Structure formats: structure tokens, C-alpha cells
A and B are shown apart, each in its own frame.
Chain A
Amino acid sequence: MAMNTPKQTSHLKREILVRLIKAYLSDNFEENTRKIPYDMRPKGSEVPFRCCIHKERAILRDRVIAGLGLSIEDADDSELLSDLAKKSLERTEPEENPLTVLHTACQGCVPSRIYVTDLCQGCVARPCESTCKFGAIKVENGKSVIDPSKCKNCGMCAQVCPYQAIAKIIVPCENACPVGAIAKDEDGHARIDFDKCISCGKCVSSCPFGAVHKKSQIIDILKSIKEGKKLVAMLAPAIMGQLPCTPKQLKQAILSIGFSDVVEVAEGADITTRNEAAEFAERMEKGDKFMTTSCCAGYNELVEKHIPELKPFRSETKTPAYYTAEMVKKETPEAVTVFFSPCVAKRREAMQNPNIDYVLNFEELGAWFIAMNVQVSECDETAYRKESSAQARNFAVTGGVAGAVNTLLEEGQKAQPYIVDGLNKQSIRDLKKFAKNGSCELGNLIEVMACPGGCLGGSSSINSYKPALKQLTAYVNESPEIKEVVKK
């Protein structure tokens, strides 16, 4: 099931966001930003993680840069955080690539490889030798030895060793990335290849050093509020399981930090469901073998960059965020729209959609509440302008999208859903196979979620999966049926 990010690194990243927001709201943003590493590690304080206080501060400085929405790789070491803070205020739109790697934090890992430990007994059977297709492993002086020039890191020898004496050493980010977009360069630092990256955020969650950062847009958003603009919050359905309050209290809490209006993206999910159901029926009538959903931004990026042959099978229907943003901009053209997101990938989607101005993730929202002392459970309840359907509000849970579409299909046309619950190397191979064969024997409506568990398992979520699911399900259960909400 969905995992939370390593607790210590997400605690650190959230603390920095809180301090950054407090600095912005103070009377001297630039100077107070410069001081963040020193406030967090004042003179004489203990050094919890690194070799010395100076390295601790240097790394915290770099983490602040990501919070400012800037690329850590591009910032020169000599630049003061106060100057970088100024730079973040001057930009007119967020930077393109949503992730950045903190090189000073990244260098602990040894390169991925297969390693024969001392436990090797140099046995007679030697299954490692016979199983290796590349002739890369031989017993010498009573112990197996790997020839690195021949070894392809397949790990077969490790699997067959009767003593489990061979270890496959992994680099967590490389291992987590389903598309091979992150790898160590010649200096041993991880580097992201953005031509391959699908913004799924798995590297962010997997790095035990917290070296992969999301570039925040929080400064851009705070600045828009200060300039007196009318900001509209568009809440992804997954948010309803994230904080210890009711959905209506959450709306009031978001209004209290400076937003003019708050709408549920579930409104758009109702439209997505209606269109996708109609499209599915039409495609099946036409003789198509299967259709995939199209609402997950990570999956959409995967199709664009790695499986273009899947495009004809992917639904043409737009995402809930798309329809919601379209509605908001139509009603209020001057509105600045902010999508509240459980994941990194939606930043990419937002960048390609002129109707979505900014993306704020759940962690950043949580940090904002802390910075402004908002006690969500004590907020009044404010109703949403529209009651969205139970099915739309359940889009955040794996199986929810296919389930919603199926509710709107007539008897006899019902889809047979096949759920891809999280993108990984195996599920990507499966998808490629479906595209190649032009058919999928496991179902005709393939729902794809990049994160295990659905959006609720997104890499920016605050709550752990089980209680989040319980909370969201309670909300879904008190919501109207989609057939009552969507008129044909």
C-alpha cells in the first residue's frame, strides 16, 4: 500500500516551508530568509545529521532554495539566500521543471551493483556461475568474484545463491524511478533527465537523505495574495482525507489564509466521468478493445514520453482539474487559479494549461496553516457552492475513476475495469504490452494511477493512507449519487 515519505526528511522539508512562509509574512522577507539556516542550527546547537554545523547549514540553505522555487543546481554557492529570495519575488512565472536535486545532501550512496559478501562459501554447486548469462561471475580462491566489466546488474546470481551471500546494492532513487530518469553522474551525484522524468515523485519519497526536492510555488502564490489578486483554490479530491477537520472547515481555513473562493475539483470530476463514460461506450461500439483513463498527470507524462503508441487508446477526456479551471476562469476571468495537489506531476499539467496558474501541494498548505496559526478543527463550517457526487469525490482512491465511469454506463455496456494501482517497472511493461497487442485480456477500461492507492497515496500527502481513506470515505458516503448530479 501507499507509503509515506521517510519521516525525518519530510519533517525537515516542512519545517523549512513554515519558516519560509513566516519570513515572507514578516516585515523583512529577504533578511529573514537568509537567516533560516542559522535559526535552525544556531551557534552551539547539536548537529543531528551531518559532519558539522557548517554542512548542516549549507544543506539547509539549499533546501530553502527549493522552497523559493528555484533550481538548486543553478544557484551559485556564493549567492546569498537574501538575494535568491529577491530573485524569487522578481520572477513572473514558476520554473519549468518541478524537481531539483540537492547535491550536497546526495553523495552517500555507493553506485548500484552486485556485491559478493564474506558469507560466500565457494560451494560446489556454484549456481551463481551457471545462472549468469554474461559469464561475469567465477569462483576464485574459494570465493565468487564478479567481473564488473561483464556484470549487467541483473541480480540473477543473488537470487539463486543458497546462502543469500550475494547482495544487490541499490541506489534508492534509481531503484524507485520507474522510467530510468534519475542516475548518478560521474561525480556520484544524482541527476534527473527531464526528457525522461514523468514527475511521479517516487525519487522524492525514496531518498533517505531527502536530496530530491520539489520546487515550491508558495512564494508566487503569497505574492499574488499580497498584490490583492483574487485567488481561487481548486481542491483535488484527495485533500478531504488530509487534515484533522471537516471538508467545510477546510474551506473556511483556506479562506482565512487569503483565498477569495474555494471550489472542489470533484466538480470537474463529475464532468470527466460523464464525458469518459460516453467516450467509452462510443469506442466500444466502434470495436476498440480497450480504453485507458486520462486523469493522472504522471500517467499522461508517461504516455507522452515513453509509450506514445498508447495514445490512441487513452481517453480524450480532459482531467477534473482541466474542467474545474475552465469553469472558474469562465466565471471569473481575473481569478488566479491555484490547484491544491497531492503530487508533483500536476505541476507539469498545470504548466501546460493556461487556466491553472499555480499549484500548491498538501504539505505546503499544511506548512502555511502552521505559519499562520490556523487551527483547522476550530474553523467554522462553510458550504461549497455545489454538491459534487460521491463518485467524483472518490476519484482520489484507486479504482474510483473506473468505478465512477461504470456507474454511468448502461446495463449491457458496463466496462470490465482493470486497475493499474501504481506505476512501476512491471506495470509499465504491462502497459507497453497492451499497446503493442492492441488489446488487454484483463479488462477493457484500464484505470491508471501513478501512485499506489491513488491520489490519496500521492507523494505530497500529509495523512497516512489508512486514516486518510477512512476520512475521505466518510465524506464520499454522505455525498449524492452521480446519477442525481450529472444530467445527461
Chain B
Amino acid sequence: MEKISVKVCLGTTCFVMGSANLQELMEIVPAKYGDKVDVCGVPCLGLCSVDWEFSKAPYVKVDDEIIKDATTEKVLSAIDAKLEKK
């Protein structure tokens, strides 16, 4: 089974708007899902620069799905939904 990839944007905008708090995912995700999910912090995904989209930061990508206003809870439920489909 292919692994799910979770990319937490740690660009300046996302970091200031809240991805600083999402760094806990780096511990929570491996503990909860083992090797089924890869999680990492990545440099700016470029999603905030479009017009005024900074206000929807922080962004997280779960595979190809973009999560706006990301919170730990939102990311975990997106992972759960993907795992269910597989």
C-alpha cells in the first residue's frame, strides 16, 4: 500500500499564522499511524501568495488535498478519511 504523505508548510506565513502549532503532528502522526503515513515540514508551498490567501494559512497537504486553516484535528481527520478509502 502506498504511503500517505502529509506536508506541513513551514513557510513564514504559515508558520506565523499557526503552523508553529502543527509541529506536534511530527510526533502525533508517526505514533498514531506508524509507517502508513509520512509526515514532514516543508518550505513554503506557495499557496499563501495568491492574492489575500494568507488569511487562510496555515496550509497542509495530505497527498494532493490542500487543507486551509489547518489544525491538528483537521489534518488527522483528513488522514483517517484517506486511510478508509484505501
Q: Does A462 contact B (CB under 8 A)?
A: yes
B71 located at the interface, meaning its Cβ lies under 8 Å from any Cβ of chain A in the complex: yes
Residues B23 and A375 in contact, CB atoms below 8 Å apart: no
Within 8 A of A (CB), among B51-75: 52, 54-55, 69, 71
Q: Which residues of the partner chain B approach A244 to less than 8 Å between Cβ atoms?
A: 10-12, 15, 41
Please tell me if the beta carbons of A464 and B24 are within 8 angstroms of each other in the complex: yes
Is A375's CB under 8 angstroms from B44's CB?
yes
- B28 is an interface residue with CB less than 8 A from chain A: no
Bound-state Cα–Cα, A467 to B41, Å? 13
A374 interface contact, C-beta 8 A = yes
- Residue A40 at the B interface, CB < 8 A? yes
Task: Determine if B77 is an interface residue (Cβ-Cβ < 8 Å).
Answer: no
Instruction: Tell me whether B44 and A11 are in contact (CB under 8 A).
Output: no
Interface contact A370-B12, CB-CB below 8 Å: yes
For chain A, the count of residues having a C-beta within 8 Å of the partner chain is: 27
**A interface SS class:** helix
Asked if A14 and B17 sit within 8 Å, CB to CB, the answer is yes
A370 touches B21 (CB 8 A): no
B21 touches A7 (CB 8 A): yes
A463–B12 touching, CB < 8 Å: no
Instruction: Tell whether A4 pairs with B21 under 8 Å between CB atoms, given A373-B49, A375-B12.
Output: yes
Which of the listed residues B49, B55, B69 has the most CB atoms from chain A within 10 Å of its own CB? B55
A40 touches B55 (CB 8 A): yes
A15 within 8 A of B: yes
- Given known A374-B12, A375-B44, A377-B43, contact A462–B55 (CB-CB < 8 A): no
Q: How far is the CA of A370 from the CA of B24 in the complex (A)?
A: 23
Contacts known (A373-B49, A375-B44); A464 close to B12, Cβ less than 8 A: no
Mask: chain A, 360-392; 1 = CB below 8 Å from B; 0 = not: 000100110110011111100000000000000
Contact of A369 among B10, B16, B20, B69 (CB under 8 A): B16
Nearest chain A CB to B25 CB, angstrom units? 11
Q: Please state if A7 and B18 are interface contacts (CB–CB under 8 Å).
A: yes
Are B12's CB and A367's CB within 8 A? no
Chain A residues with Cβ below 8 Å from B24 are: 464
A464 to B55, Cβ gap below 8 A?
Answer: no
Which residues of B have CB within 8 Å of A375?
11-12, 43-44
Query: Closest CB of chain A to B30's CB: distance in Å?
Result: 16
Cβ–Cβ < 8 Å partners of A39 in chain B: 52
Given contacts A7-B71, A15-B55, A18-B54, contact A366 B16 (CB under 8 A): yes
- A183, CB-defined interface residue at 8 Å: no
B17 / chain A contacts, CB cutoff of 8 Å: 11, 14-15, 370
Tell me the nearest residue of chain B to A371, going by C-beta.
Answer: B54
**Known contacts A39-B52, A375-B44, A377-B43; A369 and B21 CB within 8 A of each other:** no
Q: Tell me whether B21 and A377 are in contact (CB under 8 A).
A: no
Q: Are A370 and B20 CB-contacts (below 8 A) given A40-B55, A377-B43? A: no
A463-B20 Cα distance, complex, nearest whole Å? 5
A160: CB under 8 A from chain B? no
Q: How far is the CA of A35 from the CA of B67 in the complex (A)?
A: 28
**CB nearest neighbor in B for A370:** B13
Question: Smallest Cβ distance from A392 to chain B, in angstroms?
Answer: 25
Q: Does the CB pair B52–A370 fall under 8 Å?
A: no
Q: Which of A4, A373, A462 contacts B15 (CB 8 A)?
A: A462
Give 19 A-B contacts (CB < 8 Å), ordered by A residue: A10-B18, A14-B17, A15-B17, A15-B55, A40-B55, A243-B15, A244-B10, A244-B11, A244-B12, A244-B41, A367-B16, A369-B13, A370-B12, A370-B16, A370-B48, A375-B11, A463-B15, A464-B24, A466-B23
Question: A-B pairs with the 9 shortest C-beta distances?
Answer: A366-B16, A463-B20, A244-B10, A370-B13, A467-B23, A376-B12, A15-B55, A244-B15, A369-B12
Given A7-B71, A10-B18, A244-B12: 19 more A-B contacts, CB < 8 Å: A7-B21, A11-B18, A11-B69, A15-B54, A366-B16, A370-B12, A370-B54, A373-B49, A375-B11, A375-B12, A375-B43, A375-B44, A376-B12, A377-B11, A462-B15, A463-B20, A464-B21, A464-B23, A466-B23
